[in-house]
């Protein structure tokens, strides 16, 4: 049975949470008095469906069911996670938390998205303070892994650990803020930058566009991968952090910032900022900007994933979890029935696999088939340990046919038919499906090699035996449609 999450307040952040839970297989119930909530969440979900699933190299679980409720008791029935994302007003949060605690399961987690209130403030007057924690996410909640998990002394450690485990299972990075403080960690940093930026605009030093360039062309890129302190350690050169602090520490006393002064929020300042922002970005709608942001974030996150670094390492860990729960692990000996083509890949098409034609680029078909061949190799015993011992396969020839288009977020599955597996040769025929529709085929001849001599060599007896069993079973199947096809010479 699916797990149930209830979203209280389905605006920008509640919508993001709804998408994060739904796409990870949870049923989601939304409680929000706004008659537009369903439309707004639908639009957030559409963005999430094209961007989130492709971050994983393994398919996410089937999407959960989404429903909208005007009755609080109905909305929280069966929910093990309740996420409060109503506007940032303490009295409103208290009201909603009182309502929900009157009807929810006392063992459910109630996470608050609050940007700045401490858990002990939210817990004031609560029927069960121990049930309420801060789980502060970052926009877009469905893509960014960070969630600040803040507890008070009223929260038992085992409940906090349980909340952390649930957030990890959603592919998030719960940063446990050990000491509660207004605005947690990240919003204190963001506010410092925002405050200084408002001064720079007010004083006519820079426009909103110039400030954004100052961030995104330089330190914003650094921050995405090494943060502040690691970046500054490197900036200290070989002498590292001590040298950096000796050189730049004194600047903290110089008038480089106006940090603690708050510029007065006059109508003039609001108009100045909003006007410059319109001039900078008004040519794009918010939904267009969101899509551009998501495209960029997916590219950055997947680049970090290739490095196994920062937020990319979180994605890698989630893949390990997803793979462990799928049929894409193990060896041929452990598979009873190999009488049908074997599933060797199941994943969503990542946004950065699509091109100017708005569909999956041809190079990515080869990548998907290559990943499927890797899985087939592993299945028969040519795994990482075997390769480290000096044996492997090289691909000698490939033929790919494109039968239908695939788009970002589509779940594709490759089923592999072993046409021949004998001696040094492994002849594979992959068919890529979206649902029941074949979208492409890939035929590949692989040759077993010695990585020492770089020449062909016989595989291990185990690989031979596994291939023989699968080849005998697949030999009884009709030859797949398109096997042996080639592009004939022009007549």
Ligand X SMILES: C[N+](C)(C)CC(=O)CC(=O)[O-]
Q: Does 17 bind ligand X (CB under 6 A)?
A: no
Residue 181 as a binder of ligand X (CB under 6 A): the answer is no
How many angstroms from the chain centroid is the CA of residue 59?
12
Could you say whether residue 26 binds ligand NAI (CB under 6 A)?
no
CB 102 within 8 A of CB 126: no
Residue whose CB is less far from ligand X, 12 or 313: 12
Q: Check binding of 115 to ligand NAI (CB under 6 A).
A: yes
Q: Is 35 in the site for ligand NAI (CB under 6 A)?
A: no
**Smallest separation (angstroms) from ligand X to the CB of 189:** 10
- 33 interacts with ligand NAI by CB under 6 A: yes
**Other Cβ atoms within 10 Å of 3 Cβ, number:** 17
Residue whose C-beta lies closest to ligand X: 115
Show the tokens assigned to 198: 């408002």
Torsion of CA 194, 196, 199, 200, to 10 degrees: -100
Give yes or no for residue 173 binding ligand X (CB under 6 A). no
Residue burial 4-23, b: 16+ Cβ < 10 Å; e: rest: bbbbbbbbbbbbbbbbbbbb
Is 30 marked as binding a ligand? no
Q: Which of 38, 130, 180, 187 binds ligand X (CB under 6 A)?
A: 187
Task: Report the residue number, 187 or 196, with the smaller CB distance to ligand X.
Answer: 187
Q: Is 10 annotated as a binding-site member? A: yes
Number of residues that bind ligand NAI (CB under 6 A): 23
69 bridge partner residues: 31
Binding status of residue 115 toward ligand X by CB under 6 A = yes
Q: Is 431 in the site for ligand NAI (CB under 6 A)?
A: no
Residues with Cβ within 8 Å of 359's Cβ and at least 6 positions away in sequence, in order, are 405, 406, 407
Q: Identify whether the C-beta of residue 444 lies closer than 8 Å to the C-beta of residue 398.
A: yes
Interacting residues of 307 by C-beta distance below 8 A, sequence separation 6+: 225
Q: Which two tokens stand for residue 470?
A: 């699968």
State which of residues 4, 5, 6, 14 lies at the interface with ligand NAI (CB under 6 A).
14
Residue 484 annotated as binding site: no
Q: Which stretch binds ligand NAI (CB under 6 A): 136-144, 154-162, 329-337, 410-418?
A: 136-144
Segment interacting with ligand NAI (CB under 6 A) among 31-39, 124-132, 160-168, 231-239? 31-39
CA distance 65 to 48: 15
Number of residues that bind ligand X (CB under 6 A): 5
Helical packing angle, 186-202 and 267-281, nearest 10°: 100
For ligand NAI, the binding residue among 44, 52, 86, 109 (CB under 6 A) is 86
Binding-site member from 4, 5, 6, 9 for ligand NAI (CB under 6 A) = 9
Check the annotation: does 11 bind a ligand: yes
Least separation in angstroms between CB 87 and ligand NAI? 5
Give the DSSP letter string of 400-421. Answer: EEE-S---TT-EEEEEEEEEEE
CA angle 399, 434, 371 (to 5 degrees): 50
CB of 433 to ligand X, least distance (A): 38
Q: Is 125 annotated as a binding residue?
A: no
Q: Give least dist CB 137 to ligand X, A.
A: 7
Q: Is 177 in the site for ligand NAI (CB under 6 A)?
A: no
**Cβ nearer to ligand X, comparing 10 with 442:** 10
As a whole number of angstroms, the distance between CA 78 and CA 108 comes to 9
Contact 41, 49 (CB under 8 A): no
- Residue closer to ligand X by CB (options 65, 289) is 289
Under the binding rule (CB under 6 A), the answer on residue 212 touching ligand X is no
Least Å from the CB of residue 30 to ligand NAI: 9
Q: How far is CA 193 from CA 182, 190, 294, 416, in A?
A: 17, 5, 23, 53
Nearest residue to 19 (alpha-carbon basis) of 409, 406, 286, 359: 409
Q: Which residues make up the interface to ligand X (CB under 6 A)?
A: 115, 138-139, 187, 190
Q: Which residues make up the interface to ligand NAI (CB under 6 A)?
A: 8-14, 31-34, 37, 85-88, 96, 113-115, 136-137, 139
Binding-site residue numbers for NAD(+) are: 9-14
């Amino acid at each position: 049975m699916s797990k149930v999450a209830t979203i209280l307040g389905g605006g920008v952040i509640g919508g993001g949470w709804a998408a994060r839970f739904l796409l990870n297989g949870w049923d989601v119930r939304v409680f929000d008095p706004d008659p537009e909530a369903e439309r707004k969440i639908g639009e957030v979900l559409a963005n999430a469906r094209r961007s989130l699933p492709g971050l994983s190299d393994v398919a996410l679980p089937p999407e959960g069911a989404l429903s909208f409720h005007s009755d609080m008791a109905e909305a929280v029935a069966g929910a093990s996670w309740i996420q409060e994302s109503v506007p940032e007003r303490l009295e409103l949060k208290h009201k909603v938390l009182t309502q929900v605690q009157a009807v929810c399961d006392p063992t459910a987690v109630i996470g608050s998205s609050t940007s700045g209130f401490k858990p002990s403030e939210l817990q004031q007057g609560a029927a069960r303070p121990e049930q309420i924690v801060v789980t502060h996410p970052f926009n877009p909640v469905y893509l960014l892994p960070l969630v600040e998990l803040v507890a008070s002394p009223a929260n038992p450690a085992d409940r906090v650990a349980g909340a952390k485990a649930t957030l990890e299972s959603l592919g998030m990075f719960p940063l446990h803020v050990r000491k509660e403080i207004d605005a947690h960690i990240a919003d204190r940093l963001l506010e410092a930058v925002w405050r200084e930026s408002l001064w720079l605009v007010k004083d006519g030093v820079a426009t909103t566009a110039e400030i954004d360039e100052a961030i995104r062309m330089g330190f914003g890129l650094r921050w995405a991968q090494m943060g502040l302190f690691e970046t500054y350690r490197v900036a200290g050169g070989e002498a590292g952090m001590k040298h950096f602090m000796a050189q730049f520490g004194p600047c903290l006393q110089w008038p480089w910032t106006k940090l603690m002064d708050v510029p007065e929020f006059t109508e003039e300042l609001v108009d100045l900022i909003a006007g410059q922002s319109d001039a900078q970005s008004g040519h794009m709608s918010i939904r267009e900007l969101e899509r551009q942001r998501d495209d960029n974030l997916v590219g950055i996150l997947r680049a970090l994933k290739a490095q196994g670094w920062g937020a990319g390492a979180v994605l890698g860990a989630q893949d390990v979890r997803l793979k462990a729960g799928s049929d894409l692990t193990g060896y041929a000996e452990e598979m009873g029935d190999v009488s049908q083509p074997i599933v060797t890949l199941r994943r969503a098409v990542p946004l950065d696999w699509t091109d100017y034609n708005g569909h999956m680029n041809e190079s990515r078909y080869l990548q998907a088939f290559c990943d499927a061949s890797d899985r087939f190799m592993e299945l028969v015993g040519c795994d990482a340990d075997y390769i480290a011992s000096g044996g492997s396969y090289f691909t000698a020839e490939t033929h790919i046919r494109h039968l239908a288009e695939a788009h970002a977020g589509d779940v594709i599955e490759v089923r592999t038919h072993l046409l021949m597996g004998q001696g040094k040769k492994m002849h594979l025929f992959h068919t890529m499906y979206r649902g029941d529709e074949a979208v492409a085929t890939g035929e590949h001849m692989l040759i077993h090699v010695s990585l020492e001599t770089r020449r062909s060599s016989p595989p291990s007896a185990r690989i031979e035996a596994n291939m023989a069993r699968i080849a005998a079973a697949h030999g009884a199947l009709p030859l797949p449609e398109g096997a042996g096809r080639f592009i004939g010479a022009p007549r």
